[in-house]
Structure 1
Amino acid sequence: MRLRPLITAAAVRLAESGVASPLPDAENLAAHVLGVDRMRLALHPMIEADEAARFGQLVERRATRIPLQHLTGIAVMGEIDLAVGPGVFVPRPETELLFAWALAYLETLGHAHAPIVVDLCTGTGALALAIAHARPDAVVHAVELDPDAMIWTRRNTEARAADGDTPVTLHTADVTDSALLTELTGRVDLVVANPPYIPEAAVLDPEVADHDPHRALFGGPDGLDVIRAMTPNIARLLRPGGATAVEHDDTNGAGVAAIVTAAGLAEVTEHPDLAGRPRFVTAHSPSER
């Protein structure tokens, strides 16, 4: 049977269910069933009956607002695929912007020494592993507290190492603990973080509210509790001239900028996402302290 009419009907079904991106999701599910890249679906105009049945089942599950990534088992960051599922925060496309900034910053350092990178609240390991893949010379540390999330962190870390990427060192620790990574104090070139940052009263889509771990989502009444508490650690870890990039809720660009400024960091810059909403803040440790 022909594939495209099935995809069109699936997109209608998903739109009726309130899915925000019905056609891309339908196409991604079809590509998953066929084992091909979504961009190559045009090369597969036909689908077998058993594949069509499986596709229909996945569409119905997606219509109940189960996240697309839970159905395919994969999320993407940079050039790598990450295993995802219940118990861990699904990386968002918006974080690709922070990742791109991080790589550009590392390029400014050159390749004369192996840069030390720390990823706080690593979850799946998305930022840490994507940086390690793109910069095999980097020494990357990833910090996660939630044991359920750490199951996925370890799974992804082991998979990337098996594929030949530079191993990432994992730490089960609280990013707000003043004793965090004391052995790296004043030595880190770059700290990245995608912490829990959603204000507690926020109304979320079912994919997020019902499936992402609440511990990975909410950052107190204003969404800034974790960021406030971890920023002194970021300032302590950075070497003179080192940099940080922290993702935040789109209501909190100015708030995060104020927090990192109060911690003594400089060159504080607010960055928007592709929709123009505040998304992450970068800052540098003063060259002389």
Structure 2
Amino acid sequence: MRASAARRAAAAGLREAGVASPERDADLLLAHVLDVPLGRLPLVDDLSTAQAEQYDALVARRAAREPLQHLTGTAAFRHVELAVGPGVFVPRPETELLAGWAIDAASTLPAPVVVDLCTGSGAIARAVADEVPGAEVHAVELDEGALAWAERNLAGTGVDLRHGDLATAFDDLAGTVDVVVCNPPYIPLEAWESVAAEARDHDPHLALFSGQDGLDAMRVLERRAALLLRPGGVVGAEHADVQGESAPAVFAASGRWADVADHLDLAGRARYVTARLAR
């Protein structure tokens, strides 16, 4: 069977199923089945019967809105590749901007101490450890299923990974941390129906929902970051695009923070808040 024909049929089926990026998903699944880099797809146009059956099965699962990364088993994040699957939140491209902010902040210091709260798959902690080799990186995750994925992704990196709650984690680091970074749950419970099927039906709900206004975890983060950071240390946290005012207000209202600022993603949507602990 011709791979090009199979790819066209797959893209058409995914488009009809409402998948947001049908052509790219069809390509990525085909590259996965053929075990070739995406750039080599045009050079391979033969599918064995077994490969065609495997491809059809994966495309059907993607059409049923199973996350692409669950089907391939990996997710790219900045310069690293993460193992992901059922039981862990799949890192999104927009979170790379928050990770980049944390990396930039840590890179200005000779021996930075960085804490990643709600680490999930370990994406941000792994990126910081990869791009700031001199950093002392700590991470915590509450959900046991996600923790298992973080253990896999952070093995051998030197990151101190712990099982625990962001509200009580790292008492032993109080007042010594330079950078706190967090991608907390931030979806309001009332927004259940509006969440994409890939996230609502497959990502852990602990990683998605956070009270009636979506800011319960942000309020906990504000208090914990204030305890962990040294004076002048910085915190950064992702939020929903509709929280561009309400998320920064959590930090501004406490009176503990200076330089509270919100930042846009590449699509121009409000995406993450940063602040500096007042001296």
For normalisation by structure 2, the TM-score amounts to 0.95
Alpha-carbon distance in 2 for matches of 1:268, 1:36: 45
Equivalence for 2:61: 61
- State yes or no: 1:243 paired with 2:240: no
Alpha-carbon distance in 2 for matches of 1:257, 1:105: 19
Equivalence for 1:173: 164
The CA deviation at 1:124 is: 0.6
Equivalence for 1:223: 214
Which residues of structure 2 form unaligned runs of 5+? Answer: none
Equivalence for 1:138: 135
Equivalence for 1:196: 185
- State yes or no: 1:214 paired with 2:205: yes
Equivalence for 1:187: 176
The CA deviation at 1:108 is: 2.6
Overall identity of the aligned pairs, in %: 52
Equivalence for 1:97: 97
Alpha-carbon distance in 2 for matches of 1:240, 1:40: 51
Equivalence for 1:9: 9
Alpha-carbon distance in 2 for matches of 1:176, 1:262: 19
Taking only aligned residues, the RMSD between alpha carbons, in angstroms, comes to: 1.3
Q: How many residues align?
A: 276
Which residues of structure 1 form unaligned runs of 5+? Answer: none
The CA deviation at 1:44 is: 2.2
Q: What is the letter of the counterpart of residue 174 of structure 1?
A: D
Equivalence for 1:279: 271
Alpha-carbon distance in 1 for matches of 2:57, 2:50: 11
Alpha-carbon distance in 2 for matches of 1:172, 1:205: 28
Question: CA-to-partner distance for each residue in 1:46-100, whole Å, 9 max, x for gaps?
Answer: 3333212211111011111111011001112111111111111111111011112
Match runs of 1:140-155 below 5 Å = 140-155=137-152
- State yes or no: 1:125 paired with 2:122: yes
Q: Pick which of 46-55 and 270-279 moved more.
A: 46-55
The CA deviation at 1:43 is: 2.8
Alpha-carbon distance in 2 for matches of 1:185, 1:40: 50
Structure 1 runs of 4+ aligned residues shifted over 4 Å read none
Contact persistence 2:106–2:135 (CA under 8 A): no
Q: Pick which of 264-273 and 121-130 moved more.
A: 264-273
The CA deviation at 1:185 is: 1.3
Alpha-carbon distance in 1 for matches of 2:44, 2:95: 31
The CA deviation at 1:273 is: 1.4
For normalisation by structure 1, the TM-score amounts to 0.92
